[in-house]
């Protein structure tokens, strides 16, 4: 009887341990779940783009995008015309972004959700701008801009394959400006004593 009493608790304990181990395995499996390694998509908003994202693990990915950026901005200082807001049209751009997602497991297997940090490397071709300002012969005219921006962003899942993404960063740029016949100079954030704050608001769909 004593042996029987000893075996019964051990049996219950074994069942509990088995259930606990099963729950732990299932929990670890869910915790280590990753989004799909390769994903294509489109984004519409401040940046209208086609994109490709390569997932390198639960917390890392590399994203490349190409499309049109809405070139509009607000300045704390007035320009020569006394304006603070400027609209520069839709400018073709290409970007490369290594991202670190710090918010853990994603709610979708097509994209990471939650917060992330990145350094965005960007190239814009101002000379190909659509609906941009007009220039007369001899005017200083931006040709292209190279920039990088440490950025914080957050991706909100809307459905299994769509999301809303918001981000803001600190941008540092170098712009080639043409004037006269083939002459040019470089306009930089350092020379102008400014730091831009690039903001993105987009709705994305993944395939």
What would the mean pLDDT of 141-167 be, rounded to a whole number?
96
137: confidence class by pLDDT, cuts 50, 70, 90: confident
Given a cut of 60, whether residue 25 has pLDDT beyond it is: no
Long-range contacts of 125-129 (CB under 8 A, 24+ apart): 125/91, 125/92, 125/93, 126/71, 126/88, 126/91, 126/175, 128/91, 128/92, 129/71, 129/88, 129/89, 129/90, 129/91, 129/92
| Six-digit token string for 202 | 């987009």
Q: CA 108 to CA 191: how far, in whole Å?
A: 44
What would the mean pLDDT of 132-139 be, rounded to a whole number?
81
154: confidence class by pLDDT, cuts 50, 70, 90: very high
Task: Look over the chain and give the mean of its residue pLDDT values, rounded to a whole number.
Answer: 84
Residue 139 is predicted with a pLDDT of 84
Does the reported pTM lie above 0.85? Answer: no
Q: Percentage of residues in the chain with pLDDT exceeding 70? A: 80
| Cα angle: 156, vertex 43, 101; to 5 degrees | 40
133: confidence class by pLDDT, cuts 50, 70, 90: confident
| Residue bearing the bigger pLDDT, 10 or 118 | 118
Residue 43 is predicted with a pLDDT of 98
187: confidence class by pLDDT, cuts 50, 70, 90: very high
Q: Which CATH architecture has domain 35-206?
A: Beta Barrel (2.40)
| Domain locations in the chain as residue ranges | 1-32, 35-206
Note the pLDDT tens digit of each residue in 45-97: 999 999 999 999 889 999 999 999 998 877 767 666 667 778 889 999 999 99
């Amino acid at each position: 009887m004593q042996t029987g009493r000893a075996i019964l608790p051990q049996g219950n304990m074994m069942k509990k341990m088995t259930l606990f181990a099963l729950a732990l395995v299932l929990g670890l499996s869910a915790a280590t779940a990753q989004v799909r390694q390769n994903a294509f998509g489109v984004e519409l908003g401040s940046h209208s783009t086609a994109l490709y994202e390569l997932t390198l693990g639960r917390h890392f990915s590399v994203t490349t995008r190409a499309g049109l950026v809405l070139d509009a901005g607000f300045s704390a200082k007035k320009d020569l015309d006394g304006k603070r807001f400027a609209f520069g049209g839709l400018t073709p751009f290409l970007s490369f972004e290594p991202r670190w997602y710090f918010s853990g497991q994603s709610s979708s297997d097509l994209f990471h959700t939650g917060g992330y940090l990145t350094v965005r490397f960007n190239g814009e071709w101002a000379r190909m701008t659509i609906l941009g300002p007009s220039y007369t012969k001899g005017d200083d005219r931006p040709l292209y801009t190279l920039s990088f921006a440490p950025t914080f962003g957050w991706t909100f899942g809307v459905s299994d394959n769509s999301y809303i993404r918001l981000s803001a960063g600190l941008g540092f740029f170098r712009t080639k400006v043409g004037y006269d016949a083939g002459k040019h100079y470089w306009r930089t954030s350092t020379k102008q004593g400014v730091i831009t704050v690039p903001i993105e608001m987009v709705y994305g769909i993944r395939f």
